Amino acid sequence: MVQGFIQIAITLLLLLIIVPIFGNYMAKVYLQQKTLLDPILLPLEKLIYLISGVRSQREMTGWQYAKSVIFSNLVMGIFVFLLFSFQGSLPLNPTQLSAPSWDLALHTTISFLTNTDQQHYSGETTFSYGSQMLALGFLMFTSAGTGIAVAIAFIRGLTGQGLGNFYVDLTRSITRILLPISLISGIILLSQGIPETLAPPVTLTTLEGATQTIARGPVAHFESIKQLGENGGGFFGINSAHPFENPNGLTNLIETLLMISIPASLIYTYGVIINNKKQAWLIFWMVFVIYVFLIGITAIGEYQGNPLINNLLGTQQPNLEGKEIRFGWAQTALWAVSTTGTMCGAVNGMHDSLMPLGGFSTLFNLFLQIIWGGQGTGTAYLFVFLILTVFLTGLMVGRSPEFLGRKIEKREIVFASVILLVHPFAILIPGAITLVFPEILSGISNPGFHGVSQVVYEYASAAANNGSGFEGLGDNTLWWNLTASVAMLAGRYIPIIALLLLAESMRQKQPIPETTGTLRTDTGLFTFVTAGVILILGALTFLPVLALGPIAEGFKL
């Protein structure tokens, strides 16, 4: 037990070391200050702008920024869908895989386009090397870069600056953050035994005389951007539980840190940009405490094991069902909370086999979306909660609500409400329809409360752009592919548009000088109230679902 918690503590300590260093670097990138990579990347970026015709000095309004996001994503989505549709006749297909069905191709395209990477297929038996690299790998960079760009534009708008240029922010996100770190981490993962080859699967004869085919491929570079970009889509069907994606404890540590480094560090980046690191640290510690608490209860639940099994054995055993022994209960618990908190969605064990406390934590993360949240967008959601807290506390104490020296009025609250209300609509409505017709639509493989969790988790994962699943669900059907696609689109683009319009509204406001009557947002008390608002809103919205799922399952055990 002690060793498991020490492993978790070391990972968290490394995160605390990374955050200020990485956060400060990202602030320099988006403030266009000098960095060590300038001599190499400035000429490259100028060439990209020249070839693409981007006017890098052009500032965009909130609506122009949003239209650029939608238009660029639409073009990329069409390109990738066509690659999938003609996969059978394209090169880099050593196993001669045919094109997937149109609904699976559409679902996969939308999934990776929205940074969700929800997979209703097994990668090694569905998509060729060409599709994995040129389609999925391409979207892993662009979808993550889009999320970061939107978060930076949102922060700029809150501070009264221009929102910037989407194409410039997307380019810098890829060239200065995602690509360099992916290159370095990919080489490290390669050194640890993760394959990087275009050779076809190898067929071997086992000791029993049977024939076994072992899938391989260009995995190392795929794995690095999968984790860093909070993509989560596995090259193989069992994702980071596969020894070719995550072979040992060191790769597990590296991939965990890659997964949480950008969303955690972006909070510090916010503090640097607004010139108020105190507020950034207070927000960081608020999220960190909730994160550690969820890790703690999940780890305790897995360590204590299943009471029904323990009663049969006459002794307490950790819950090792659905886990890789090389990671054990502690690293699986840490990963499960991290992957659902960061909206990565990669798994190193089966979430379907988690104890009810683990099911509660993972669903809770998907519902809140701010611990640490999606790539870039999760950071923006945090500040939406701050704006709501300012508004509510201002009403309670009779002060005019202000945030960063700008008044919060009806327009801002409308946008904030849209951002937060899209999520439950995208989860609860299709989830309710599916559960009304379980035999026709659901594909549930577990009876009772766990079956409810399976369905709700799938839509929560889609709407939160997470991509993980309880699995065991028969989800490669027309119903699941289309309804999950709608949930992913709604959970991605409606909040992004509302975030950018909210930022534009804040940018246009005249700054108000701070007085003794101004409600300060960089205090411990305000941060505590913000945490309360976040937890109460999350509990009020999704408590019935949690009660019918993991909470009821826990009481039954």
What is the 3 state secondary structure string of 66-100?
HHHHHHHHHHHHHHHHHHHHCHHHCCCCCCCCCCC
Specify the pLDDT at position 22. 95
CA–CA dist 1, 303 (Å, integer): 7
Maximum distance among all alpha carbons in the chain? Answer: 82
Tell me how crowded residue 265 is: count the other CB atoms within 10 A of its CB. Answer: 25
In terms of average pLDDT, the best of 200-209, 483-492, 514-523 is 483-492
Q: Which of helix, strand or coil describes residue 407?
A: strand
The helix or strand, by DSSP H or E, that contains position 106, with its residue range, turns out to be helix 102-113
CA–CA dist 272, 58 (Å, integer): 24
Specify the pLDDT at position 289. 94
Total domains, the chain: 1
| Alpha-helix residue ranges (DSSP H) falling in 398-447 | 410-436
* Report field, pTM of the whole predicted structure over 0.75: yes
- Please give the residue range of the domain that contains residue 276: 2-556
Q: Which of helix, strand or coil describes residue 292?
A: helix
Specify the pLDDT at position 452. 84
Answer whether residue 398 shows pLDDT above 80. no
pLDDT digits (tens, 9 = 90+) for 191-230: 999 999 999 999 888 888 888 889 999 999 999 999 999 9
pLDDT mean over 287-312: 90
Specify the pLDDT at position 474. 79
Answer whether residue 515 shows pLDDT above 80. no
Q: What percent of the chain is predicted at pLDDT more than 70?
A: 99
Answer whether residue 469 shows pLDDT above 90. no
Q: What percent of the chain is predicted at pLDDT more than 90?
A: 51
